[in-house]
Structures are given as C-alpha cells and as structure tokens.
Structure 1
C-alpha cells in the first residue's frame, strides 16, 4: 500500500469518525433511534465475532448476556450510580460466562449450538421464576434521566473500546492462538496452546461487552420483562449480521449490521407477520452465496501475527539421566488392552524406532506420551518430571513435540503462522536459537512463509508439521509415520532431513513402516505386537529375529 493511499484511508477514517460523533447533533427522533440500533447491534455482532469468528463455535447465547445486563440495570439502575451499574453488569456477565464456559467449551459443532441456545432459555426461565415467585411481578420499571443523545454516546464509547480490544487481541499471540484453535484444536493443543483457557478468556471478554450493552440499552425501554430482555430473535439476528459482514474480520460485522438493521426496519413495518421467515431466508442466502461474508469479496483479511521476531530458543534443561523413561505403561479401551506394560528408556541424541503390524499399539503409545490419552497404568517421566496424564499443551511446553499419523496442519493459517503458534507458546527458553524463517528454511519451506497451509502439497504439509514441532524447542520429537505416503524421491529427502536433525542432536522416537528408514536412522528399535513389546535392540538384529519376522515382516521378508 502506497503512502498516498494510506494517508487517504486515514483521512477518510477520521472524517467518518467525526461524522459518527457529531451524528446526534443533526439527527433526531427516528434517525437517532436508528443510529442507536446500528450501534448496539454493531457491538453485539462484533463481540460475537470476536469469539465465534476464529473458533467457528456458533453461539446463540448472545441474548443471555444481553438480558443479564438489562436486568442488572433494571434491578440497580435507580439506586446505584450508573458507572457502578455498568460494572455490575460486566461482572455478572463475566461470572456467568466463566461458569458456563468451563463446562461447555469442550463441546463443539451442533452440541455447542444447542447448549448455547438452551443457556439463553434457561436464564430466561430462571428470571421469570424469580420475578413471579420472589419479586411478585412480571417485569420491572426503570425510570432514568438518560436521553437518546447520552445513550448514543455511551454506545459509541463502548463500540470504540470494543474495536480497540479486538485490534489488540487480533495482533497478540492469543489472537493467533484463537485462530489456531479454530483451524485445528488438536494440533493447537500439541503446539503448547491451552485451548480451554484461551477460548474461555475470549468468551468471557465477548460476554462482558454483550452484558454492558444490555445495561446501556435498558433505559431505552423503561419497562423491562423477560420477553423483551431475553428475546431469542436477538441471538439469531446477531449471527446473521456477523456472517453477512464477515465474522473473520474485526470490522466485517459492521458491513452486515448496517444493511440488515435498515432491512429489518422495513420488514418490521411492512411484513411483521413474516419477519422470521424472511430472516431464515436471509440466513440461507448468506451461507450459500457469501460463506466469508461481504468482507470476503473485498480480498484476504488476514490479521498480521507476530511471526518474524520469534526465535525458537533452546531451553536450559537437566542433562543427567535418561531423557524419557516409560515404566509398565498400559492403555485400555474397555476390554481392549491397546498398550500392555510397555517399558523403555530414551537417551539424549538417540533415534528410537517403534515398529510393528497395524493395530499393535504404536500410535496409542505415542498418544499416551504426548498427552492425547491418559495412561491406564504405569508411569512416564521426562527427565525428572512425571508427565503421564498431563494435558497435551503442558507436555508440549515441557519439551515433547509430535507429528501425526494423518497429517494435521492449521489450514487457514499461513505456513509461518503455523510455526509461530508453536513458538509463541513453548516453555521458558534461554537466549540463542533459530527464528521461524530459519526453521522453515531447514525443512525446505523458506520461500512459502505466506502461503496458506491448506494449499501445500502432502509432503510440504509433512515438512510444516515437523517445523511446527521443532518450533517448540523440544527435548523429544515424536514422528508418527512421518515418511508414510511419500514417493521414492520424497522418501529420500525425508530420510536426509531426519538424519540432519539427528546430527544436530535432536532426540527422536519414530513410528515407521519403512524398514530402510529404520535401518538408516535408528540406533535402537522396539517391536510391538498386540500392545506388547516382543523385541528390542539394534535394527539389523531385531529385523532378523524370527519372532519379529513371524509377527510383522512375514517369511518372505526374512
């Protein structure tokens, strides 16, 4: 973007801001009310998109928090100072969001949609019960001296604060983490990202803005009852507005709010009995024709993440004793014993191969070591730290990185952002190390930093997975059939790359079916069958063992 273009955009932005601030001075009555509607829907849609846009969790709980804010204002608005009322609305909304988020953000897909909708209805029913049985009323009156002008400026100030929060979040490591979670939550967790905590924090921030908006809007109605404060149509309208404008961009929802607020005004006046039908039709049209919203028609809207300055430093660690010790580890699924009393040690700088027929428990063992599964029995120690049963993000931060049997990249993030997501959340490190660019050069992706990961070829996605694992500055790398599916030329390149890592002193456990790679790379080999270890030792010795030949290689390979 040229300097002249940037200056022109700044001038246009300042002019628009001046017009918006001065709007109450030259608009009154109906047009001022219309401006208020646009502002409060802008806040609700943008707050919704702040969480749901990157994570793709479709929430219908907007009206729950909006109603909480409105009822907080109704309960305390006439006795408390107005700033205290707004703070109370924010606090109550945050507490409710934290409680519900802890129990629901592990859900995904249609389950989260259903729960979020049920949450709004549950809160509405609780308020109705309280009003009828305790307060002995149907609703509450709120007499306030707040004028339309003041209401507009309060909403405008809240809008500015929301955009500032969204701007800072989008350019922080937590914004990148949120996008990584939305792209592939499993890969994000194994990159050191505490998915639950990040989702919960942003969900609470979103709920706070919704709750405060409800409190600010309460004086507009004077009389507040559950049907007004907890009108489920608000949640659906907010979702449609955000999706129309583009939930993946900070300013995208505004592009949906403005036309739809105007359209809803017309529909309410002309087709009051068919409003829901038209709303549903609009939703279908948006999903089919504008999957990325209006903002998606303009061009890419990627937010710049802190990538170039990241160095993957090598942490100072205890070098005494074995790096990894596995003692009698078992994993059961009901009556199936997938891993049965497996024990071994890995020393630093060693490449250990794990081989065995399909279904022998190799990947299950790696899942236990990386935290994807909790062991049913036994102990796993990394250095002197017991890691069995820890969450994947904690194990990743302690120094175990992995790739997956079925390649997992964060498809919507760029190549550099995939690596940065891991580097930003690895454990504490000392000075020195490699930058994101240097790691990508190492695996052969140095010229593809800005390429979306989903556009990479299969081998390049495997390279990216490896670079993301190395970005954690790991003590141990787990490669789960990393060479599988490669053609002979790619296989030769892949073996050479792993050999280069070995020469750098990287410790690796590799599950593999390519015997040439096991012979060329591994100093020690473990053979599993039916969940148990049936042989161990140097690759040539193990591969000539009659028990191994019978269980895995077959007589023809002897």
Structure 2
C-alpha cells in the first residue's frame, strides 16, 4: 500500500469518526434514538462476545447485569455525582458476576445456558421482593439532567472503551487462553492454563460493561421497574446480534447489531404481538445459515500470537516422581489398586498391561485429571495430591492423551503458544531457548505453523500434542499410547524421537502396547492387570514372566 493510499484511508477514517461523534448535532430525535439503540446494543453484544465468543459458553444473563446497573443508577442517581453512580454500577455488576461465576463457570453446555437464564430471573425476583417489601414501591423515578445528546456521547465513549479492552484482551495471552478453553478445556488445563480463573476474570469484565451500560441507559426511561430493566428479550437480542455478526471477532457483533436494530424497530411497529416468534425464527436461521456469522463469510484475519519466551527441555539432577500406594475407585470399582513406583531423572519408564488394566487411569491421577482415592504422588519435593491439572502442568509434568486432544480451532502454532505462555518456570530458570518453531520442527510439523489443528491428520495431531507438551518445558512427560496407530516407518521415526528426548535429559513415563518400542526405549517397566502391579523390571524379564503372559493371553492359553 502506497503512502498516498494510507493517507487517504486515514483521512476517510478520521472523517467517519468525526461524523459519528458529531451525529447528535445534525440528527433529528428519531434518528438520534436509533443511534443510541445501536450504541447500547453494540456495547452489550461486544461485551457478551468478549467472554462467550471464544469460550462458547452461551450466556443468557446479559439482562441480569444490565438491569442491576439500571437499578443502581435509579437508586443513587439523584443523590450522588454521576461518575460515582457509574462506578457503583460497575462494582455491583462485577461483584455479582464474581459471586455467580465462581459456581456457574464450572458448568458447561446446556447446563450453563439454563443456569444463566435462571440467574437473570432470580435477580429480577430478588429486586421485585426488595422493592415491594423494603422500598414499598415496585418501580423508581430517575430525574436526571442527562439529555439524549449526552447519553449518546456517554455510550460512544463506553463503546470505544469496550473495543479498546477487547483489542488488548485479544492480543494478550489471556485472549489465547480463552480460545484454547473454548477449543478443548481439558487440553487447555493440561497446558498450564487456569481455566477457572481466566473464565472468571473475563466474565467479570464482560458483566461490568453490561452493568455500566444499564446505568448509562437508565435516565432514558425516567421510570424504571423490573419489567423494563430485566426484560429477558434483551438477553436473546444480544445473543442473536452477536451470532449474526460473528462472536469470534472483535468487530463482528457490530455487523449484527446495525441491521437487527433496524429490523427490530420495524417489527416492533408492525408485528408487536408476534415479535418473540420472529425473534426465534431469526435465531434459527442464523444458526443454520451463518454458524460463523457475517464475519465468517468475509474471513478472519490472522490472529496475533502473544510474544513469550522460548521453550526448552531441561535436564534435572534430582529424583522426579514417586507414587506410593496410589488407588482410584469408581463407585466401588477399584481401577487402580495400591500402585507404587519411582522414576529417576532421564529414565523412560514403561507401563504395560492388557486393555482395562488401569494404565490410563493411573496417568490421569498423576496429571491431576483424577484425584487419587488414596496414596501419595510426589513430583520432586511437591505432593501432587489435591492439585489441579494446570498447577501440575506448571510444575513441569506434561502429558499426551490416549484419545488425541488438540485445540482444533487454533492453529498449530497457537496450540504450542498456549502452553509456552502459561508454563510455570520463571524466565531466569529457562536456560537456552528453543522456539515454538524449533519444537514443531522437532516433531515434524515445521511446515504447518498456520494450519488449523483440526485439519491435521490423526498422526500429525499426535505430533502436535507432543510439541504442546514439550512447550511447557517439562521435567517429565506422560505419553499415553503415543505410538499407537503408526505405520512401521512412522513407528521407527517415533521411537527415534522419544530416544532423542531421553538423550536430552527428559524423563518419560509411557503407556504402550507396542512391545518393540518398550524393548527399545525402556530401561524399566511395570506391568498392570486389574488395577494392580503384577510385575516390574527390565522389559525382557517382565515379558517372560508367566504372570504377565497369563494376563495378556489368559490362564488357559498361558
């Protein structure tokens, strides 16, 4: 792009911005009201998409925070300075979001949708109870000097702040963490991401903007009652607008707000008794025809990957992991029964046994996916019992999964970046640097940085899982049947790669059915059957043990 074209675009953008700011000076009352509607729905839809877009947690609680903000303004608007009222509304929204988010954000899918809708109704009923029993009035009057012009400019400033916040969030590591959570929350947690804290923080941020919007809009109505402030239609309108424009993009919701505000104006005037039916039809059409919104038709821009220090694989000189009497039961079924073992630095420990013997369950207890019913797990001097997956990952224990888990909507590079940005080692302890590109080259994905992870073949997704695990700078990696499904050539390459990692000083625990790999890589292995360890020692020794042969082939065949 030439300098002249850039100057022309800058001038056009400046002229458009000036026209938007000066809009109240030349718009008549009706068009100014439309502008206000566009602005406040833009703020609500963008704030909604800030959280729900990347995480895919569909929230119907928008009106709960919007209504709380409006009622805060109604209660304080005539006795306190307006900036203080807006700050109070922000505080009420943030506090409510924090209290409810601590419990609701552990839900997902349809359960979260139902709870968020119920939350809005619960808050409405609480406000009604308070108004009737304490305030002795169903509604409140708010007489304010805020004119339509001032209201417009307040909303415009708030919209600019929402877009600025959304831009900064999207370019930060927390924006990447949100998208990782939305793609695969389990994989994100095992990549060092504290999913609960990240979700809660952005949920509070989103709710704060919604509450302030309600406070800013309160003077427009003069009289506020629960039917106005907590109108459930607002929540559905916001969802529909965000989805139409594209909730996965910062400016996507605006593309849904503008046409739908105009359409809703027409529907309200022409079909007031059928508005909800038409709203439902529009929602169904958007989901069926434009699942990624209008912005999905245009195409999404290349995402910025936050900068972070490069990863490296470190050698350690102290004992790493010890399991002492670890058991795991499910409703009386003991899947792991009193398993004990220790792993020394630089060792590859093999865990073998027939299907259903408890191997993967054991790995799940080591990585924090499951809490052991009894026993103790130590990584170095740290007891892992009771720690969550992200905490264990940050301590230096990474893993792959038996059923491969990548974050499909993120690129190959973003999958690795998510782990690099949330690993726990301080920068001063990382030693020599190995970039994400180096890790992808190491596993054979060097030419696929920008490919969506969901488009990779099954084998390449396994390679990506390993690269993501290595990006955590682990002291120990759990490989759960990582070599399964490889053809002979790929198997040879995979064995060589694991041997290379061992030679670099990485400690590995591998669950595997490929006995050639166990013999080639493992200095020591344990054999599990029915949840218990039935043999341990060098691979050739345990594979010749009659108990092991019986476990694999059955007593009669042995």
Would the TM-score normalized by the shorter structure come out above 0.5? yes
Q: What SS does the aligned partner of 1:446 have?
A: coil
Go from structure 1 to structure 2 and tell me whether the alpha carbon gap of 1:265 and 1:432 turns closer, same or farther (over 3 Å shift). Answer: same
2:402 matched to 1:405? yes
2:329 matched to 1:332? yes
Kept in 2: contact 1:339–1:365 (CA 8 A): yes
Separation (CA, whole Å) in 2 of partners of 1:464 and 1:197: 26
Separation (CA, whole Å) in 2 of partners of 1:529 and 1:117: 47
Q: How does 1:461-500 map to 2 (within 5 A)?
A: 461-500=461-500
2:388 matched to 1:387? no
Separation (CA, whole Å) in 1 of partners of 2:292 and 2:300: 10
Q: What SS does the aligned partner of 1:360 have?
A: coil
Kept in 1: contact 2:173–2:306 (CA 8 A): yes
| Aligned residue number for residue 503 of structure 2 | 503
Q: What SS does the aligned partner of 1:311 have?
A: coil
State the 1:433 CA deviation: 2.5
**Aligned pair partner of 1:356 in 353, 358, 365:** 353
* TM-score with structure 2 setting the length: 0.97
Q: What SS does the aligned partner of 1:75 have?
A: helix
Kept in 2: contact 1:244–1:293 (CA 8 A): yes
Go from structure 1 to structure 2 and tell me whether the alpha carbon gap of 1:534 and 1:250 turns closer, same or farther (over 3 Å shift). Answer: same
Q: What SS does the aligned partner of 2:34 have?
A: helix
| Aligned residue number for residue 199 of structure 2 | 199
State the 1:510 CA deviation: 0.2
State the 1:28 CA deviation: 2.4
Separation (CA, whole Å) in 2 of partners of 1:413 and 1:334: 37
| Aligned residue number for residue 372 of structure 1 | 369
Which of 207-216 and 385-394 deviates more?
385-394
| Aligned residue number for residue 21 of structure 1 | 21
Q: What SS does the aligned partner of 1:359 have?
A: coil
Q: How does 1:386-465 map to 2 (within 5 A)?
A: 386-429=383-426, 430=429, 431-465=431-465
Separation (CA, whole Å) in 2 of partners of 1:289 and 1:12: 33
State the 1:519 CA deviation: 0.5
2:159 matched to 1:162? no
State the 1:7 CA deviation: 5.2
Kept in 2: contact 1:354–1:526 (CA 8 A): yes
Kept in 2: contact 1:46–1:250 (CA 8 A): yes
Separation (CA, whole Å) in 1 of partners of 2:288 and 2:262: 22
Kept in 1: contact 2:97–2:203 (CA 8 A): yes
State the 1:524 CA deviation: 0.5
Kept in 2: contact 1:315–1:428 (CA 8 A): no
Kept in 2: contact 1:310–1:420 (CA 8 A): no
**Could you report, residue by residue, the CA deviation over 1:468-502 in whole angstroms, capped at 9, with x for unpaired residues?**
00000001000000011122222122111111111
| Aligned residue number for residue 249 of structure 2 | 249
Q: What SS does the aligned partner of 2:135 have?
A: coil
Go from structure 1 to structure 2 and tell me whether the alpha carbon gap of 1:4 and 1:453 turns closer, same or farther (over 3 Å shift). Answer: farther
Kept in 2: contact 1:248–1:301 (CA 8 A): no
Which of 90-99 and 3-12 deviates more?
3-12
Kept in 1: contact 2:327–2:372 (CA 8 A): yes
Kept in 2: contact 1:373–1:389 (CA 8 A): no
State the 1:10 CA deviation: 3.8
Q: What SS does the aligned partner of 1:501 have?
A: helix
**Could you report, residue by residue, the CA deviation over 1:162-203 in whole angstroms, capped at 9, with x for unpaired residues?**
000000000000000000000000000000000000000000
Aligned length: 555
Kept in 1: contact 2:63–2:230 (CA 8 A): yes
**Could you report, residue by residue, the CA deviation over 1:494-547 in whole angstroms, capped at 9, with x for unpaired residues?**
111111111111100000001111001111010000000000000011101111
Separation (CA, whole Å) in 1 of partners of 2:259 and 2:309: 41
What's the RMSD between the two structures over aligned residues? 1.6
Which of 483-492 and 347-356 deviates more?
483-492
Q: What SS does the aligned partner of 2:305 have?
A: coil
| Aligned residue number for residue 310 of structure 2 | 311
Separation (CA, whole Å) in 2 of partners of 1:323 and 1:24: 67
State the 1:388 CA deviation: 1.6
Separation (CA, whole Å) in 1 of partners of 2:99 and 2:335: 36
State the 1:423 CA deviation: 0.5
Separation (CA, whole Å) in 1 of partners of 2:197 and 2:72: 27
Kept in 1: contact 2:480–2:512 (CA 8 A): yes
State the 1:300 CA deviation: 2.2
Q: How does 1:64-83 map to 2 (within 5 A)?
A: 64-83=64-83
| Aligned residue number for residue 95 of structure 1 | 95
* TM-score with structure 1 setting the length: 0.97
Go from structure 1 to structure 2 and tell me whether the alpha carbon gap of 1:149 and 1:64 turns closer, same or farther (over 3 Å shift). Answer: same
State the 1:6 CA deviation: 5.4
State the 1:11 CA deviation: 3.8
Q: What SS does the aligned partner of 2:447 have?
A: helix
Separation (CA, whole Å) in 1 of partners of 2:57 and 2:432: 39
**Could you report, residue by residue, the CA deviation over 1:428-484 in whole angstroms, capped at 9, with x for unpaired residues?**
232322111111110011111011000111111000000000000001000000011
Separation (CA, whole Å) in 2 of partners of 1:285 and 1:378: 54
Separation (CA, whole Å) in 2 of partners of 1:74 and 1:315: 59
Which of 435-444 and 547-556 deviates more?
547-556
Q: Which runs of 5+ in 1 are unaligned?
A: none
State the 1:313 CA deviation: 4.1
Q: How does 1:143-292 map to 2 (within 5 A)?
A: 143-292=143-292
Separation (CA, whole Å) in 2 of partners of 1:165 and 1:274: 37
2:546 matched to 1:551? no
State the 1:4 CA deviation: 6.4
Q: What SS does the aligned partner of 1:134 have?
A: helix
Separation (CA, whole Å) in 2 of partners of 1:26 and 1:462: 60
Q: What SS does the aligned partner of 1:447 have?
A: coil
Go from structure 1 to structure 2 and tell me whether the alpha carbon gap of 1:234 and 1:553 turns closer, same or farther (over 3 Å shift). Answer: same
| Aligned residue number for residue 518 of structure 2 | 518
Go from structure 1 to structure 2 and tell me whether the alpha carbon gap of 1:218 and 1:458 turns closer, same or farther (over 3 Å shift). Answer: same
